[in-house]
Structure 1
Amino acid sequence: MFRIIGLLTLGILSLFSGRAIGAGAEDFYKGKTITFVVGFAAGGGFDTYTRMLARHFGKHVPGNPATVVENMTGAGSLVAANHIFNKADADGLTIGNWIGPLVLQHILGNPAAKFDGRGFGWLGVPTPDSGVCALTAASGIKSPEDWLNSKRPIKIGATGPGSTTDDVPKLLREALKLPIQVVEGYKGTARIRLAAEAGELDGGCWAWQSIKPTWAKGVESGKVHIVLQSMLESHSELKHVPLAAKYAKSEEARDLLKVADGPYGVLARPYSVPPKTPKERLEILQKAFMATTKDAELLAEARKAKLDFTPVDGPTVAKLVNELYDLKPAVTDKLKQIILPKK
C-alpha cells in the first residue's frame, strides 16, 4: 500500500517537475531574441541555410523568441568559432554556425584555434555536405583528366585554413597530384563565386548543397562545370561526375580522401552554443533544431530554394567530434603537413 502511494507521489512530482521545466524555459525565452552568428559572408551557403532556419526556429522554442542573424566573417569562420567558445554568453541565446573541420585545426595544434571541440554544445547539422569542385568554362577544365594534364596550376578560391574551401583542395592536391594553387582570404563562397566569374579564379571546392542553390545560373548555363566529387560516395544528382577516389593510386591517398569525406562531410556545417550553456536550454535548442529541420513550411521553402535537409542531431555530432580527437598519430602527422597554416 505504502509502495503504491510512494510511486503515485513520485509520478505526480515528476509530472509537475516536467511542467515546471517547460514553464521555466517559456518564461526565459519569452520576449527574448536568439542570435545566430554565421562565420561567413551574406549570400553564401552557410548564410543561406542559417537565414532559412532562423525564420522558422522561434516557433519551436518555448516562449517563441525572436531570431536575428549576424555575419561574423574572418579566417574561414575561425573568428566566429573563437567568439562562440570564448566570448558569447552561455545563456542559450547565441547559436554559432561555423565550419566544423576547424575542430581539426585545434586537434593538429593550430594556436589560432582557441577552443576545444569537445566543449561546445552541439545542436545538429541541417544536412551532410557532398564536396565537389566547380570550375568555370573559362578555366578550360571539364574533366579530372583535363585537370591532371593541365600545364598550369588551377586557381582555387578559399576562405582560410580549416574550411572545406581551403583544406579539401590541399588534400586533393596531395592525394591525386592535381595541379592546384589555393588562393586564400575570401570571406565566403559568395566572394569566391564572384571572383571566379570575373576571371580572378578558376573555381572552388565546396558543398554541392551550397553550390546548387547559390551558383545555379552558372551550372545551368554551362559557364560552370562540376568536375570532381571529393566524397567517397556519389551524390544522387551527380552520378555523372567522377569520384576523386577513382584517381587515388595509393593507400595513403585513399586515407586522405577518407578525411575529406568525414569532417568535411557530416560535420561540415554544424550549429553550436558556448560551453557551459545550461543543460536544460541546450536540450531545448537541440529539440528545436531538429523540429525546425522537419517543419513543413521550412521544407516547402527549401524545395523552392533547392536546399537539402537531411538533419543530423546534436548528440550524434558531439560523438563524431569526440572521435576526431582519437585520430591515429600517423594520420595527424600527415594532416599537419598538408592543412596546417605554414609559419
Structure 2
Amino acid sequence: MPRSRCRRISWRMAAKSSSSTRRRPTSRVAAVTFRAHGRCGSISSARHKGCTMLRFALTTLISLVIGATCATSYVYADAVEDFYKGKTITVITSTGVGGPFDLTARALAKHMFRYIPGRPTMIVRNMPGGGHVLATNYMYQQAEKDGTVIATVNNSVPLHQVLGGQGVRYDTRRFYWLGSTGTSNLMTVAWHTSGFKTMDDVMQRELIIGATGTGSGTFIYPNAMNVVLGTKFKIVMGYKSTAELDLAMERGEVAARAGASLAGILQERPTWIEGNRVVMLNQIGSERDKAFPHVPLMHELAKTPEQRRILTLLSRPPALGRPFFTTPDVPRERAVALRRAFEATMKDEAFLNEAKQLNLEMSPFGGERAAAIVNDTINVPAELVAKAKAVLEPK
C-alpha cells in the first residue's frame, strides 16, 4: 500500500489526536482496535507493516458485514415486491356494507396498496355473522396464510376469546396485528320515545335491546349488566349487522342498542345526537368521553369491588379501536411490509382527507401497540376470568 495512503488511513482512524482537525473514529470496533495500537499511525513505527495488515483486514471485515446486511435487506425487499406484484389482497370486514368498519376498510384499500412493495390490487369482502366471530374464525382457519388477506373485526373478539365465548375457533395472539385507526368509547343508547332516561330506569323495568351475536358488544354488554348489576335488558338476537340493528331501533322493533361506537354514531347517525333522538344510558371505556362527561361508565355502576373488577375487564375492548390484522404464519418479511404499509397509510394526506369527508374519526396507532393490548386482554388472572365468564353466554 502506498505510504501516502497509509498516512491518510492513520490520520482518519486514529483513536485520539491532539489536533482539533482530526476526526473521531466512526466505528466502535475501529476505535477499540486502534486505541490498543496507538503508534500505528506513525510511519516510522516498527509495527507499521503489521498494523497496516490489521487495518486492511478490519476494513475488509466491516465492509463485508455492511455489504451482507444491505444485500440481505435488498433480497427481502425484492422478494416481497416480487411476491405482491400482480397479486390481489382481500380486506375482510366482519360487518355488512355501510358503517364505520366497512367504510374504513374501503378507504384503506383505496390508498394502502401504494405503500406495499409490488403495489398489489386491494379489494374488500364483507363477512358479517356471529357477532364478528365468523370472520375471525375464517381468518384463523381458512384464509390464505401468505399475506394476501387482512381483516378488520370488532374489538371485542379478544375478550370473547378469553371468556371462552360461543363459537371461538381462533387465538387472537397468533394474528399479526397491523395497527388500529383509533379508539372510541362504546355507548348504550335508548330511543327517545322509549321512556328510559337513566340506568336506574333499566333497573326497574324491562328494556328491549337488539343484538347481532354473542361475540359482539351488542350482546356482551347488556348481558353483563343483567348478570352483574341486575338490569332488565331483554336481548333480541339475530340482526346481521349493526346497520340493520340501528334501522330496527328507528322503526321501533327494539328500543335500545349497546356497543355503539361514539365515532360510528357521529359518522352514520349524526342526527341521533344533534336531534336528541337517543338517550345515552352509559358508556364503555377506561374514562368518560369529554363530549359526554355526565354519562356514567359501565364499571362505575358497580356496587362492589368484585363487580367493578369484572366490568373493568369487560371494558377493555374500546382501547383496541378499529384494528386490522393478517393471518398467523405469514412470512415475516411480508407481515412486516404490511404493518409498515398500514402505518404509512395512517399518515397519508389523501387517506386522511377521505376519512374526514366520510366523518371517520382517526386517532391511529401501530401494530406493536395493538398486539400489546390484545395480549394484555388475554393474559388476565384466571380467577378473574372464571368470575367474568358467567356474563358471556345466554342464560
TM-score above 0.5 = yes
**Displacement after TM superposition at 1:304 (Å):** 2.6
CA contact (8 A) 1:105 1:340 kept: no
Q: Give, as a single letter, the amino acid of the residue that structure 2 aligns with 1:318.
A: A
**Displacement after TM superposition at 1:79 (Å):** 1.0
CA distance in 2 between counterparts of 1:305 and 1:189 reads 18
Choose which of 212, 226, 229 in structure 1 pairs with 2:266.
Answer: 212
Counterpart secondary structure, 1:18? helix
> What runs of 5+ residues in structure 2 fail to find an aligned partner?
1-54
Q: Give, as a single letter, the amino acid of the residue that structure 2 aligns with 1:327.
A: V
Q: Counterpart in 2 of 1:231?
A: 285
Q: Counterpart in 1 of 2:338?
A: 285
CA distance in 2 between counterparts of 1:144 and 1:165 reads 16
Q: Give, as a single letter, the amino acid of the residue that structure 1 aligns with 2:116.
A: V
**Displacement after TM superposition at 1:311 (Å):** 1.8
Who wins on radius of gyration, i.e. which is larger? Answer: 2
Choose which of 247, 251, 272 in structure 1 pairs with 2:305.
Answer: 251
CA distance in 2 between counterparts of 1:142 and 1:297 reads 42
Q: Counterpart in 1 of 2:180?
A: 125
Q: Counterpart in 1 of 2:391?
A: 338
Give me the TM-score of the superposition, normalised by structure 1. 0.92
Give me the TM-score of the superposition, normalised by structure 2. 0.80
Q: Counterpart in 1 of 2:355?
A: 302
Counterpart secondary structure, 2:315? helix
Choose which of 5, 20, 24 in structure 1 pairs with 2:79.
Answer: 24
Q: Counterpart in 1 of 2:26?
A: none
**Displacement after TM superposition at 1:110 (Å):** 4.1
CA distance in 1 between counterparts of 2:166 and 2:255 reads 31
Q: Give, as a single letter, the amino acid of the residue that structure 2 aligns with 1:301.
A: E
Q: How many residues align?
A: 339
Offset from partner CA, 1:257-310 (integer Å, 9 cap, x none): 212321x21235322211111111111111111111221112222223222222
CA distance in 2 between counterparts of 1:111 and 1:230 reads 22
> What runs of 5+ residues in structure 1 fail to find an aligned partner?
none
Q: Counterpart in 2 of 1:326?
A: 379
Offset from partner CA, 1:63-107 (integer Å, 9 cap, x none): 222211111121011111111111111111101222232233333
Q: Give, as a single letter, the amino acid of the residue that structure 1 aligns with 2:101.
A: F
Q: Give, as a single letter, the amino acid of the residue that structure 1 aligns with 2:118.
A: G
Q: Give, as a single letter, the amino acid of the residue that structure 1 aligns with 2:287.
A: E
CA distance in 2 between counterparts of 1:17 and 1:242 reads 54
Counterpart secondary structure, 1:112? coil
CA contact (8 A) 1:37 1:72 kept: yes
CA contact (8 A) 2:163 2:392 kept: no
Taking structure 1 as reference, are residues 222 and 55 closer, same or farther at Cα in structure 2, changes over 3 Å only?
same
Residue 222, structure 1, aligned to residue 267, structure 2? no
Q: Counterpart in 2 of 1:41?
A: 96
Q: Counterpart in 2 of 1:75?
A: 130
CA distance in 1 between counterparts of 2:335 and 2:221 reads 31
More deviation, 113-122/75-84? 113-122
Higher relative contact order (CA 8 A, sep 6+): 1
**Displacement after TM superposition at 1:58 (Å):** 0.8
Q: Counterpart in 2 of 1:112?
A: 167
More deviation, 78-87/156-165? 156-165
Counterpart secondary structure, 2:258? strand
More deviation, 11-20/32-41? 11-20
Q: Give, as a single letter, the amino acid of the residue that structure 1 aligns with 2:381.
A: K
Residue 195, structure 1, aligned to residue 248, structure 2? yes
CA distance in 1 between counterparts of 2:288 and 2:378 reads 27
More deviation, 19-28/67-76? 19-28
CA contact (8 A) 2:147 2:334 kept: yes
Counterpart secondary structure, 2:193? helix
Offset from partner CA, 1:91-144 (integer Å, 9 cap, x none): 111012222322333333346211122221111121123111122112122333
Counterpart secondary structure, 1:132? strand
Counterpart secondary structure, 1:36? strand
CA-atom RMSD in angstroms: 1.9
Choose which of 226, 237, 245 in structure 2 pairs with 1:173.
Answer: 226
CA distance in 2 between counterparts of 1:221 and 1:111 reads 38
Residue 261, structure 1, aligned to residue 315, structure 2? yes
Taking structure 1 as reference, are residues 109 and 145 closer, same or farther at Cα in structure 2, changes over 3 Å only?
closer
Q: Give, as a single letter, the amino acid of the residue that structure 2 aligns with 1:69.
A: V
